[in-house]
Amino acid sequence: MDGKPRPPATAGEAIQRMDAYVSLGLVGQQEVAQLLGLNVTDLTCLGHVLGAGENPLGAGDLAERANLTTGAVTGVLNRLERAGYARRQPDPSDRRRVRVVADPTAAARVVAVYEPFYARLAALFADYSPDEVAVIADWFARAADEARAHLEHVRSTSDRITAP
């Protein structure tokens, strides 16, 4: 399908729309986490675990993806195990490491919550040409890299910035 004509927009307007989307996403994540009996950090980590699919993440890998310390991830994993969403299993190639595996029943509950939204997004993407979808996907990947770099900068300067 060819892309549809779009109204012009400046980078500033696109950033404003992105900010509105991100803000709504944050509220949505809080609502979904509450619905599932989790906090947002635990839901984020569970999302990474689910996204790993058949290649379970190591606890350290999860910490890196979630931008958490390994100590914080230990707490996350304890809570996810208590809630029945995930479990640790020994790494078959290195018994000192653990892998994190989602519980299939719990994973189905999470998918059931997100599936209608993803269906809406799929319908939205259908309005774009393959080339336009490629640009959107590229932009999100590159924007995520920039967000990580900014997070590192914020963390490195946080001791020099004080609240009013």
Which tens digits make up the pLDDT trace of 5-53?
889 999 999 999 999 999 999 999 999 999 999 999 999 999 999 999 8
- 3-class SS of residue 37: coil
Q: For residue 109, what pLDDT is reported?
A: 93
Question: What is the amino acid identity at position 51?
Answer: G
pLDDT top residue among 98 and 1? 98
- 3-class SS of residue 124: helix
Single pTM value for the model: 0.83
Mean pLDDT, to the nearest integer, of 136-148?
95
Contact 85, 101 (CB under 8 A): no
Contact 11, 134 (CB under 8 A): no
Rounded CA separation 106/143 (Å): 31
